[in-house]
Amino acid sequence: MGLLNSISPRAIVASALLLSSLAHDVLARPSPEPKLRKGGPGKKKMAHNIKRAIEGERRAVETSCAETLLTTTTAPKPNPWAQLKDFETASVVEWLFAQEDLNLTISEDAGAWDNTIQLVEAMWPNKTDALAYLDGNATAPTKYAHVVLNNRATETPYYADILVGPLPVDNVTTAWEPLAYPYTKESGGQVRNLDADEDVLYSDWLYVHGASVADITLDLWNGTAMGLDNDTLDIWGIDPVWQEDGKIIRWDAFWNFPTGDFDSETLLPLGLYFMSDVTGRDPSKWKLEGWLYDNIFYATTEEFRTAYFGSCFKKHGANVDGDWAGSNQQGPILPMDNALPPIEVAPAGSRYAVDHEQNYVEWMDYSFYIGFTRDTGMALYDIRYKGERLLYELSLQEALAHYAGNDPMQSGTSYLDTFYGFGPYAFELVQGYDCPAYATYLNSSFYVAETSHTHISSICLFEYNTDYPIQRHTTGAYTSVTKNTYFVVRFVSTVGNYDYTFSYSFFIDGSIAVEVRASGYIQSAYFANNQDYGFQIHDFLSGSMHDHVLNFKADFDILGTSNSVQLMSLVPTSKVYPWSRGQARNTMALERTFIESEDESRFDWSPNTATQIIIVNEDEKNQYGEYRGYRVLPYTGTVHLTVKNSSNLVNSARWAEHDIQITKQKDTEPRAAHPYNSQDVADPPINFDKFFDGESLRNEDLVLWLNLGMHHVPHTGDLPNTVMTTAHTGIQFMPSNYFSIDQSRQTVNQVRILYADGKTTSVETFGQFNASSATCKPQYAPIEPNLAGYTGDIVVRKFPFDPNNPYFDTESIV
């Protein structure tokens, strides 16, 4: 249990996942190289050469079109957001262990009172440095490692963010220092660890109290939770724990273990809860504070037992596993469903180019770099279109799942998912299901216990074609219609019970969409007394209401970093015009204002979506005097947090309270949240509120912090898993007077059919691919992914790093 530092369903399921993925590593034959697809990094060719290459290299008609496409490119500059290479991680770990003042213990040997390394990854560059490098002649930002230490060899255990560098490690110049500047807390990135004693919490506390009521649990559910192999019950509780009046209070609940082979534990609550004061590191000083069953509170175990075995105690049934909780195919086969359904194919292979070494991508006139971190998984950087940067950064910041209920378990649950991290749970994608079989798959890596792991094929890139065109018009003389081919970069992260699919889509009109879809198992509630917090969805089960809110950082740079945000509202108006014969006309008009400062920059989508939010460059007007800009708008249902001033969260997720929040970009405010905000909710490492200190937002470098989200009141249709048809949320960015005409006109994948005198006179195809005249043959049959080759993780390197034997035998680390 040492890998993750919490006890909660997220932690339990997540730990199991991670352990399993490690176990998976142990025995799987490690591949000698990451499985890069569609050309390795050796083939370097600029994207603008590709078209010539295609045309110049066409051979016999037997050539497949896919073969004629070179899908690699070279990034203009090495990726400054690149993950550390395995040997770099290993060298940092080795260096850290050499620093005696850190008093570090190797994870596998560490107990609750030892200091360990929690994280080693690349430190993100400051934007100031990155821009000087990307746009100017500056050298690459000096490379540092961002390290988190889990310092538990103390009465007051704490996590500490530190910087190690410069890299490469050099015993003369490399040093470490506390990392404080990106955090708002007075102690910087130093925050208490409330989970330091999680192992003894189970052995010395939760199972002890599980055993203390074994007579009751046997009577109620024929099961026990005592830490024994034959336990059929589990215990876990709220996250974050209560942090009040200097005390640390937890509520824990009993759950049935699944009996089948599905991950259904979060569907099996049993309705018994107990409260504990677990302040301090000495379990002997912890206090049981009471029991709760059927909305009746019992201050002591004796009181509870007396009542339970008394004559008036009302017992309810148990939620037990079954087919209803398993996601296998069920029911009669639908008509014709065993015929092959429609499928998207890529008959010409990839029409985009990837620098696999630098995680740099070019599609049509877009380009971007990919970064990847433990906390938030994949991020996109330096997103350019038609040669100009649109966004310096577009990245997930945090995901909140805030529950409510009549019971303390649901009421007390407000997961802040970066605590668990999106990176480590971005598993291998299922080809042909999570992404098309023909997609390009990239790897990502993450740090666990002195080792660097790689999830192969955990990021996908692909083109797709919507079922509708992007443009059309029919007249008496012609019909013009254009295909809507778009490009997607995606990763999926399963944080415990929930699977988040993150998609960034790029369209040929210059618009960009950010979407999140959720699936997996809901966390549900015991039904009793929860009528005002959810639907009853199974025998003794309530679909616990919760809000998902996911914050994204959109660091726009519209034609430079001097930007402003214009609000343009459609407002009903009644007005007399020179031509209206003195009568007032009921009509509408536009009202425009600018957001002047951070005093007015936290707000929601307007009712009836009446207000457009446009990021403009006030110095960059187009030829007609309008500001060139990009508009931000909701795409598919976004919400902010329903709860006001949440008792669970206090100051740890202030970013969740509005739809749109805008700040001046600062190197000291790179992230909206810290993964350990849950450890000190009143004074978290990053209190987003503190970003708002009245600074001007006119003609400044701006960051938009945008919330996607969904209210979720699970109903029976969320059993066994939530479906993505409805559990989706998205925002969209679209050009606003940014170009002089629609950019989709540039594609050749349009047609114009002309007719006159009753006949079609010509079909204009603008040079688009024509199979009859082409010297290559499209290959329509899809790649058949071999799902038996699904592997999960590969490649673990460990300190001490031996360049002659880089692939560590993982067996000994778990």
Query: Which residue's entry shows tokens 């060298």?
Result: 91
Contact in structure between 495 and 423 (CB atoms under 8 Å): no
- Where does 194-246 show beta strands of DSSP type E? 233-237, 242-244
Q: Which of 97, 113, 755, 807 binds a second copy (CB under 8 A)?
A: 755
> Which residue is catalytic, options 197, 234, 417, 434?
417
In whole angstroms, the minimum distance from the beta carbon of 26 to a second copy comes to 6
Q: Which of residues 535-554 bind a second copy (CB under 8 A)?
A: 535-539, 545, 547
Using CB under 8 A, pick the residue from 507, 691, 705, 801 that binds a second copy.
507
Beta strands in 524-643 (DSSP E): 525-526, 534-538, 541-544, 546-556, 564-576, 584-594, 602-603, 611-621, 627-636
**Cβ partners under 8 Å of residue 283, min gap 6:** 197, 200, 201, 204, 205
Structure tokens at 814: 């778990």
Q: Which residues, 600 to 619, sit near a second copy by CB under 8 A?
A: 604, 607-610, 612
Nearer to a second copy, 162 or 650 (CB): 650
Q: What residues between 725 and 744 interact with a second copy by CB under 8 A? A: 725-726, 732, 734-744
- When the beta carbons of 520 and 670 are compared against a second copy, the nearer one is 520
Helix locations, 365-438, DSSP H: 408-411
- Cβ proximity to a second copy, 47 vs 131, nearer residue: 47
Which position among 60, 62, 139, 579 is part of the footprint of a second copy (CB under 8 A)? Answer: 579
Q: What is the dihedral of CA 685, 686, 692, 693, to 10 degrees?
A: 30
Q: How far is the CB of 599 from a second copy (least distance, A)?
A: 22
C-beta closer to a second copy: residue 117 or 508? 508
**Smallest distance from a second copy to CB 772, Å:** 9
Asked if 371 interacts with a second copy (CB under 8 A), we say no
Q: Which is nearer to a second copy, 165 or 412 (CB)?
A: 412
19: contact with a second copy by CB under 8 A: yes
Work out whether 374 is an interface residue with a second copy (CB under 8 A): no
The interface with a second copy within residues 239-258 (CB under 8 A) comprises 251
CB of 110 to a second copy, least distance (A): 23
Site for a second copy in 165-224 (CB under 8 A): none
Q: Which residues pair with 538 in a beta bridge?
A: 541
* Residue 630 annotated as catalytic: no
Q: Is the dihedral of CA 248, 253, 258, 264 positive or negative?
A: negative
Residue 15 CB, nearest approach to a second copy (Å): 9
Distance CA 665, CA 54 (A): 42
Long-range contacts of 300-304 (CB under 8 A, 24+ apart): 301/209, 301/212, 301/213, 304/213, 304/216
Quick check: helix, strand or coil at residue 247? strand
Quick note: the x/- pattern for a second copy over 280-319, rule CB under 8 A, is ----------x-x--xxx----------------------
The answer to the question of residue 715 lying near a second copy (CB under 8 A) is yes
- Tracing tokens 């950010």 back to the chain, one arrives at 514
Annotated catalytic, 417?
yes
Q: Residue 306: which H helix or E strand, with range?
A: helix 301-308
Decide if 359 contacts 371 (C-beta within 8 A): yes
Task: Select from 441-449, 559-567, 569-577, 669-677 the region that touches a second copy (CB under 8 A).
Answer: 569-577
Peptide bond into 125 cis (omega under 30): no
> Of 82 and 518, which CB lies nearer to a second copy in the complex structure?
518
Q: Where in 97-126 is the site for a second copy (CB under 8 A)? A: none
- Minimum CB separation of residue 187 from a second copy in Å reads 26
Quickly tell me which residue has 């944080």 as its tokens.
495
Q: Which of 136, 784, 804, 812 binds a second copy (CB under 8 A)?
A: 784
- Total number of residues that touch a second copy (CB under 8 A): 223
Q: Which stretch binds a second copy (CB under 8 A): 119-127, 225-233, 308-316, 717-725?
A: 717-725
Shortest separation between residue 255's beta carbon and a second copy, angstroms: 16
Cβ atoms 601, 661 nearer than 8 A: yes
Using the rule CB under 8 A, give the single segment among 109-117, 672-680, 683-691, 746-754 that binds a second copy: 746-754
CB of 320 to a second copy, least distance (A): 15
The one among 40, 41, 111, 789 contacting a second copy by CB under 8 A: 789
Q: Which residue has the tokens 């690349």?
A: 122
Nearer to a second copy, 197 or 657 (CB): 657
Near a second copy by CB under 8 A: residue from 88, 509, 557, 598: 509
488 binds a second copy (CB under 8 A): yes
8-state DSSP, 228: -
Decide if residue 230 touches a second copy (CB under 8 A): no
Pick the catalytic residue from 273, 438, 447, 498: 498
- Residue 405 in contact with residue 357, Cβ under 8 Å? no
Query: What distance in Å separates the CA atoms of residue 428 and residue 460, rounded to the nearest whole number?
Result: 10
Q: Which stretch binds a second copy (CB under 8 A): 2-10, 157-165, 228-236, 626-634?
A: 626-634
Residue 286, classed as helix, strand or coil, is coil
Task: Report the distance separating Cα 130 and Cα 121, nearest Å.
Answer: 18
User: What would the 3-class secondary structure string for 667-696 be?
Assistant: CCCCCCCCCCHHHCCCCCCCCHHHHCCCCE
Helices (DSSP H) in 405-456: which residue ranges? 408-411
- The type of residue at 796 is V
Unique residue bearing structure tokens 């909206």: 672
Q: Which of residues 329-358 bind a second copy (CB under 8 A)?
A: 329-349, 351-353
Q: Are 626 and 598 in contact (CB under 8 A)?
A: no
Span from 91-99, 133-141, 170-178, 625-633 in contact with a second copy (CB under 8 A): 625-633
Question: Segment 378-417, which members bind a second copy (CB under 8 A)?
Answer: 402, 404, 406-408, 411
Q: Which residues pair with 776 in a beta bridge?
A: none
Closest to a second copy by CB, 183 or 605: 605
List 237, 377, 436, 670, residue binding a second copy (CB under 8 A) = 436
Among 284, 624, 773, 812, binds a second copy (CB under 8 A): 624
Are 35 and 521 a contacting pair, CB within 8 Å? no
Nearer to a second copy (CB atom), residue 173 or residue 768: 768
Beta strand spans in 139-183 (E)? 145-151, 158-165, 175-178
**List 469, 596, 666, 783, residue binding a second copy (CB under 8 A):** 469
Nearest distance, CB of residue 327 and a second copy, angstroms: 4
- Through-space distance between the first and last CA atoms of the chain, rounded to whole angstroms: 10
Our CB check for a second copy shows the closer of 148 and 461 to be: 461
Decide if residue 328 touches a second copy (CB under 8 A).
Answer: yes
**Nearer CB in complex with a second copy: 485/663:** 485
> What part of residues 24-83 is at the interface with a second copy (CB under 8 A)?
24-28, 47-48, 50-51, 54, 65, 68-69
Q: Give me the least distance between CB of 383 and a second copy, in Å please.
A: 16
CB of residue 70 vs a second copy: minimum separation in angstroms? 9
User: Are 13 and 3 within 8 A, CB to CB?
Assistant: no
As given in the structure block, the two tokens for residue 281 are 């590191």
Report which of 380, 415, 376 is spatially closest to residue 398, judged by C-alpha positions: 376
Residues 6+ away with beta carbon under 8 Å from 792: 21, 24, 25, 28, 427, 428, 455, 456
How large is the C-alpha radius of gyration of the chain?
Answer: 28
From candidates 462, 504, 526, 676, binder to a second copy by CB under 8 A? 462
CA dist 31 → 36, 446, 454, 456, 637 (Å)? 11, 17, 11, 10, 42
| Per-residue contact flags (x/-) with a second copy for residues 641 to 680, judged by CB under 8 A | -xxxxxxx--------------------------------
Residues classed as catalytic: 417, 498
